[in-house]
Amino acid sequence: MSHTATRSTWSNRWAFILVTIGSAVGLGNIWKFSYLAGSNGGSAFVLVYLLCVAGIGLPLLMAEILIGRRGHGNPVTAMLNTAEETHNSPWWAFLGWIGTIGALLILSYYSVVAGWIVDYLWQAFTGVRVETAAAAEAGFAALVQNPVRLGLCHTIFMVLSVGVVARGVVSGIESANKIMLPALFLILIVLTLYGAVVGDMSQALHFLFDFKAEALTSGVVIAGMGHAFFSLSLGMGAIMAYGSYLDRQTNIGSTCLWVVVANTLVGLLSGMAIFSLTFGYDMLPSSGPGLILQTLPLVFSHMPGGQVFAVFFFLFVLFAAWTSSISLVEPFVSWLTERCGIHRVKAALLTGVPVWLLGLGVCLSFNDWSDYTILGRNLFDALDHLTSRLMMPLSGLAIAIYVGWKMGRAVVGDEIKLERGAFALWFTVLRFVVPIGIALVFCYELGWLKWLE
C-alpha cells in the first residue's frame, strides 16, 4: 500500500480527542437528547442512556478506533487490511461499506435538519420575534412547507461541511474543530448558567435526575439504548476513519473515556439549559421534535437579553452539527483519495454533490413530495429509520463480533494496550454485553419485542 507512507496523522492526542468529541457532539446531543428525554419520562431515559453509553458505547468506540488504526486506511481498506492480517474473509470489508454509505445517507437528512438551525440562526440574528405558542408552531410549519428556504439552508450547510473536508485532515478537519469546539463549550457553559438564573433549574434537575421507577418502560430502555448509539457516532465509519489517522502511541482506552465524558456532559448540560428555560416559562417538556425549534424561540422572545441568547444558542447548535457532519463526509472522501487516487478537493465534490441532491429530495419530502412514501414513510423518515435504526445497530453488532470473536485476542490486545484486568473487562463486555444489548434494540425495531410493552 503505497498511500500509507503519505497518510496524515493528527497533530497530537488532544487533537484526536477534540475531533472525535466534535463528531460525537451534534444535533443528537441537543435536539434529539432533549426531545427524547422530554417525551420519555426524563430521568428514566437519562439513566438508561448513561448506562448504555458506559456499557455499549464506550467499548464499541474503542473497538472502532482499534480497527481504524490497525487497518490504517479508510473504513473499507481498514477492514480489508485487518481481515487479511487476522486471516479472516475479505468479505468483512462489506462492513466498511455499510458504514461509509450509511454515513452519506445520514448526512443527506442531517444536513436538512442543520439547515433548520441555519434558518433559525438567521431569524435570531435579524430579531424575528414569536409572541405566542401558535405563532411558534406556525413559524416552524412555514419553514418546512417552503422547499426553497429548506433547500437554500441545506445547501449552505453542505458547502460548509464539504468545504472543511476538502481542505484536508489536519488543516481542514482538525483546525475547524480546534476553533469550534472550545467556542461550543464556552457558549454551552454560559447558556447553562443563564438558564439557571433566568429559568427554573431546580425543576430541570428534578426532571432529569430524580429517578422514578414507574417511568422505566421497555420503550424508554430501547430509546435510551438507540440514542447512546447515535450520539457517539457509532457504526458509521466516521470514528473508524478518524481512528485511522491516530498515531500508534496514543492510548485508545483513556482517549475514549475523555470523548464519552465530554459527549455525555454536553448532552446533560444542554438538557439542563433547555429544560430550565422550558419549565421557567411554563412550557411542556414533551412537545416532541419541535422542542428546541418551537419552545425555545418563544422563550427567547420573552426573556431579558433573549435575542443575544438566541443567536448564541443557535450558533452553538450549528457548530455542534457542523463538526459532526464533517465526520460523515470523511469516510467516502478518504476512500476516493486512497483507492482511486482522486485529489481531495475533487473527492469532496464527488461526495458532496450526490448527497446534496438526495438532501434536496429530503427537503421536498416535507412538502411537494409528501405524498410519495417508502413503506409508509416520507423520504426524511425513511432515511432516518434505515440508518439510525437498522444500519447503525447492525454495523455495531458486526463490529463487536469482528473485534470480539474474529480478530483474535493477540492482535486486539497488542493494539488496544490495556493492562490485564482492564483488558479482560473490556473484552468480555465487547464479546457478550454489547452484542446482546444491540440485538435487543434491533429485535425491538423489527417489532419482535412488541409483547414487552
Binding site for ligand PFF (CB under 6 A): 23-24, 26-29, 103, 106, 230-231, 233, 236, 238, 324, 327-328
Instruction: Please report how close the Cβ of residue 66 comes to ligand PFF at its closest, in angstroms.
Output: 17
CB of 27 to ligand PFF, least distance (A): 4
The number of beta carbons lying within 10 Å of the beta carbon of residue 133 is 14
Rounded CA gap, 333 and 162, in Å? 10
Cα 441 to Cα 436: distance, rounded to the nearest angstrom: 9
CA distance 150 to 452: 39
Distance CA 443, CA 453 (A): 13
C-alpha cell of residue 420: 490485564
> CB of 270: closest distance to ligand PFF in angstroms?
11
Residues paired with 60 in a beta bridge: none
Name the grid cell of 26.
Answer: 451534534
CB closer to ligand PFF, 283 vs 355: 355
Q: How far is the CB of 170 from ligand PFF (least distance, A)?
A: 20
**Cross-strand bridge partners of residue 374:** 377
- In the complex, the smallest distance separating the C-beta of residue 22 from ligand PFF, rounded to whole angstroms, is 9
The CA dihedral of 7, 11, 17, 21, to the nearest 10 degrees, is -80
Q: Looking at beta carbons only, is 30 or 144 nearer to ligand PFF?
A: 30
CB of 321 to ligand PFF, least distance (A): 7
The answer for residues whose C-beta is within 8 angstroms of residue 235's C-beta and 6 or more apart is: 60, 64, 98, 99, 102, 229, 391, 392, 393, 394, 395, 396, 399
Instruction: Return the number of the residue (232 or 336) whose C-beta is nearest ligand PFF.
Output: 232
For 144-170, letters b (16+ CB in 10 Å) and e give beebebbbebbbbbbebbbbbbbbbbe
In whole angstroms, how close is the CB of 235 to ligand PFF at the nearest point?
A: 8
Closest to ligand PFF by CB, 206 vs 385, is: 385
**For residue 435, which of 63, 81, 49 has the smallest C-alpha distance?**
63
Nearer to ligand PFF, 111 or 324 (CB): 324
Residues in CB range of 30: below 8 A, 6 or more apart:
266, 267, 270, 274, 292, 316, 317, 320
Which of 453, 178, 120, 446 is closest to 313 using CA atoms? 120
For CA atoms 300, 302, 305, 307, give the dihedral sign: positive
Q: Residue 269, SS3?
A: helix
Q: What residue type is assigned to position 257 of the chain?
A: L
What SS3 string covers 180-243? HHHHHHHHHHHHHHHHHHHCCHHHHHHHHHCCCHHHCCHHHHHHHHHHHHHHCCCCCCHHHHHH
Give 105 or 272: the residue with its C-beta nearer to ligand PFF.
105
CB of 210 to ligand PFF, least distance (A): 25
SS3 of 368, please? Answer: coil
Work out how close the CB of 231 gets to ligand PFF at its nearest, in angstroms, rounded to a whole number: 4
**Residue number with CB closer to ligand PFF (26 or 271):** 26
Least CB distance from residue 92 to ligand PFF, whole Å?
Answer: 19
Q: What are the residues whose beta carbons fall under 8 Å from the beta carbon of 191, sequence distance 6 or more?
A: 270, 273, 309, 312, 313, 316
CB of 326 to ligand PFF, least distance (A): 9
Q: Are 400 and 407 in contact (CB under 8 A)?
A: no
CB of 238 to ligand PFF, least distance (A): 3
